[in-house]
Chain A
Amino acid sequence: MTNRMVNATGAALLALSRTAEAAYQWNLPTPVTRVASEIYNLHLVMMGIILVIFVGVFGVMFYSIYAHRKSVGHKAEHFHENITVEIIWAIIPFLILIAVAWPATKTILNLKDTASPDITIKVTGYQWKWGYDYLKGEGEGISFLSNLSTPQDQITGKAPKGEHYLLEVDNPMVVPVNKKVRVLLTANDVIHAWMVPAFGVKQDAIPGFVRDTWFRAEKEGTYRGQCAELCGKDHGFMPIVVEVVSAEKYSAWVGEQKQKLAAAADDPNKKWNLADLKARGEKVYAANCVACHQASGQGVKGTFPALDGSQLANGPRGRHIEIVLNGKRGTTMAAFGKQLSDTDIAAVITYERNAWSNRTGEVIQPGEIGSARK
């Protein structure tokens, strides 16, 4: 009977600790790259040193508080200034610092060494999503955007939250295991930061400049991170997901992506009808515009302008095309010409000019966007 009770308690405790583990993750994630394990160990060493100093310093302090109180009748001694003691307590910390600076320096040299990668991927930060372009190595030419895939209902509490709430995307970055991946970072609008803790990688993405970092993942799996530099309204909603797969699976994924790219390539001279283009535009709008201008087209008063009934979406189309292509300086409105194809831009403008109460009836053909770009 005792046995059964022990078992039952054990099972209950195990269940409890599992949920606790989920809700109370408290340490650096398990490292899967050499750099990340070096960082993990450096942190352990530092914690060890700190713990020893902590016990030493506060052992002395609390002993003193206990023993040298007026209320227990301790009389103050009046010693002060002792050059020897003061030199010793300056030099010992100095030596400890040199001892930790050495391994830290080695790790820095290692993590800055981005030479001779197997695969090079350019990562671009956008407000508020990531873009991935495979530049060199197997998979060259693959290019896609990666958006948060957590449904809005989960965020607003209308639906229960899933296991990977806020850490899931529609198109994850996929890389092969045990290959050196060099990541080139840049941004389209403001500074973002690309972070994957399990790889020991965090690098700012700076608009107009290219920075680089690298990782070699030693274990297959799905690794998650988030944007780490405040980048505006949806800073908390642009996660990073990297899938590390075997070489075979990676080749298969590359083949699949290439086929998809070929299939998705639009004929820029195709003539679209209103219904088809508007339907496509609605999807583009949901992926790119809805965060600011809202699904209702009403925007956010005082911050993001409304499109529904607006001068822009009902007036001359040239101005509308120009704003979508080139953005608006000094505001969050991005230059989507750099992100989207002619067909997608034509579609989203057509949608905006025919959605909600907007009834222009105009169809913007991709060719028009192409000529506006020139």
Chain B
Amino acid sequence: MSAVIDSGHAHDEHAQGPYRGIMRWITTTNHKDIGTLYLWFSFTMFLAGGTLALAIRAELFRPGLQFWHPEFFNQLTTMHGLIMVFGAIMPAFVGFANWQVPMMIGAPDMAFARLNNWSFWLLPVGALLLVGSFFVPGGATAAGWTIYAPLSTQMGPGMDFAIFALHIMGASSIMGSINIITTILNMRAPGMTLIRMPLFVWTWLITAYLLIAVMPVLAGAITMLLADRHFGTSFFNAAGGGDPVMFQHIFWFFGHPEVYIMILPGFGIISQVIPAFSRKPLFGYSSMVYATASIAILSFIVWAHHMFTVGMPTAGILFFMYATVLIAVPTGVKVFNWLTTMWRGSMSFETPMLFAVGFIFVFTMGGFTGLILAIMPIDIQLQDTYYVVAHFHYVLVAGSLFSLFAGFYFWVPKWTGRMYDETLGKWHFWLSMIFFNVTFFPMHFLGLAGMPRRIPDYALQFAGFNEIASIGAFGFGLSQILFLWIILKVTVLGRGEKAGQRPWEGADTLEWTHLPSPAPYHSFHEQPVVG
């Protein structure tokens, strides 16, 4: 027994370093390395999904069919959605969790270091299956990212590739969530009680529970789909006693919490950045925690607002409408809290703060349109039109993506020990902000005018706004090349001024107060004590 302990000691004193070269990344169990892998992976997928988006907008620049056949166009919209949701946004937030959660709670690493390696390395496999499906006979799935049956049972083998990819990525998410929950609940430094945790950690704790609750539901839905496709079952086929609408119920029972999975950690990032650059504590810390939890709970009882046009009974419609509008209350609490945090602060506007304020502005607009869509009679006009496309890009691009940008600029000095290029960062913000709105604001008008989503060609009264949206999309896409350059400059090339331990004077979480920049490969060998 004592021998075991002794050998442990000997090991500890031994100088530990990672393997060299590629093996470092394949075998790593270090939360910082794995965080970096997640972030590069998600950025690669972001560029891939963005390329598909530009292919879509090129076709929609003018009425008529110019570049793609309709069936390939449907593959583009489907894969754009799947890649962005499962490949870009979700892994990016897990990357942030890997880097930040241990450092913010004073833990040396994640709870399950090898599981952590495995949850990352599943992702490239899933991504290869997903992207590779473009090259199988019949091409990738073209049933929309929502893969509604029975359209999805008509698809070729590309659909099976997508199903397996989702299974694998779902398994990765579940393992990542287990790891995050265990780390947060068990590895906090002494004195770091739950109600003292930074909000980013809180939002991820809640998000991880959501993931564990709903990823198996998605897995169930796509497995039933697989059985309908190949094993002669009729879960979603009326001719065999099934019901196509059941697929939608199961899918959105996963899908609505999924929407919050993609935004809650973003709320967490914004709740770190706003106080730091206002030099003032968050106005209502505990009400922010309660609001996050309420949003998570409500997300389980609103799913059918995605299905207001399937022909539900009146009582069902009323229930889901009332429950949906209720979400406006905790969301409002969040926005009001950010504003009162800024109020009478001493604000400065470096790039992270610009993206955070930009986030509040455009995300709130997405919230407004969400409220409009929640009113079922109005939704009758807007369901499955470009208004919905505008709405969810306001919350997902301007919401999730802008919060990720804010988080990157905020923490990259801690990760690399160098400051990013502030001038280019500001350019990145303004270009993204302007072109984002040029792209997506006109889509509200298209939706009100009645343009359905997911169509490769459109009637002439929609021509004007589509042209504007396409120009904006190319501007937005090209602005992200600038972002790539900013990242390369501060990471791979290692250029930029050296960052101090605490480059943002208002930042007060453990990674800024206790760790140097760059954070050492193994941080918190000795537990910090939170006073």
Contacts and interface: CB of A to CB of B under 8 A. Distances in A.
A302 B139 contact: yes
Contacts of B171: none
B383 A228 contact: yes
A80 B287 CA distance: 11
A300 B70 CA distance: 12
Nearest to A71: B348
B227 interface: no
Contacts of A161: 63-64, 460
Interface stretch (A86-94, A137-145, A259-267, A357-365): A86-94
A38 B326 contact: no
B449 A104 contact: no
A42 B321 CA distance: 14
Contact of A209 (B238, B360, B371): B238
Contacts of B463: 23
Interface string B165-180: 0000000000000000
B471 to A, nearest CB: 15
B318 A61 contact: no
Interface string B37-67: 0000000000000000000000000011110
Given A80-B283, A89-B332, A193 B450 contact: no
Given A200-B380, A233-B74, A300-B69, A166 B459 contact: yes
For B144, B310, B465, which residue has the most chain A Cβ atoms within 10 angstroms?
B310
Given A25-B461, A61-B360, A108-B318, A303 B281 contact: no
A86 B287 contact: yes
Nearest to A106: B377
A4 interface: no
Interface in B340-389: 340-349, 357, 360-361, 364, 368, 371-372, 375-378, 380-381, 383-385
Contact of A97 (B244, B325, B339): B325
Given A28-B381, A157-B64, A235-B455, A203 B347 contact: no
Which DSSP category, helix, strand, loop or mixed, fits chain A's interface?
Answer: mixed
A190 interface: yes
A131 to B, nearest CB: 18
Nearest to B248: A191
A208 B454 CA distance: 24
A60 interface: yes
A154 interface: yes
A20 B445 CA distance: 13
B372 A60 contact: no
Contacts of B452: 195, 226-228, 235-236
A65 B332 contact: no
B70 A38 contact: no
Contacts of B342: 61, 64-65, 68
A26 B448 contact: yes
Contact of B450 (A90, A111, A225): A225
A155 B311 contact: no
B237 A208 contact: yes
A331 to B, nearest CB: 6
B69 A80 contact: no
Interface residues of B, number: 98
A8 B282 CA distance: 60
Interface in A211-268: 211-213, 224-237
A109 interface: yes
Interface stretch (A50-58, A343-351, A366-374): A50-58
Contact of B381 (A46, A202, A229): A202
B339 A61 contact: yes
A230 B76 CA distance: 13
Interface in A101-134: 101, 104-105, 107-109, 111-112
- The 8 residue pairs across chains A and B that have the minimum distance between CB atoms: A208-B238, A236-B455, A211-B311, A26-B445, A23-B464, A24-B464, A76-B346, A25-B449
Given A26-B448, A57-B336, A80-B284, 20 more contacts: A27-B448, A64-B342, A64-B345, A65-B342, A69-B349, A90-B329, A90-B333, A189-B154, A191-B148, A191-B150, A193-B309, A200-B380, A202-B381, A206-B310, A211-B310, A225-B450, A230-B74, A300-B71, A303-B138, A303-B156
Interface of A: 20, 22-29, 35, 38-39, 42-43, 46-47, 50, 53-54, 57-58, 60-61, 64-65, 68-71, 74-82, 85-86, 89-90, 93-94, 97, 100-101, 104-105, 107-109, 111-112, 154-157, 161, 163-167, 185, 189-191, 193, 195, 197, 200-204, 206-209, 211-213, 224-237, 300, 302-303, 330-332
27 contacts: A20-B464, A25-B449, A25-B461, A42-B375, A43-B381, A70-B347, A70-B348, A86-B287, A90-B329, A101-B325, A109-B314, A112-B317, A164-B459, A165-B63, A166-B63, A201-B380, A202-B380, A206-B238, A206-B310, A208-B243, A228-B385, A230-B74, A232-B154, A233-B70, A235-B455, A236-B458, A303-B139
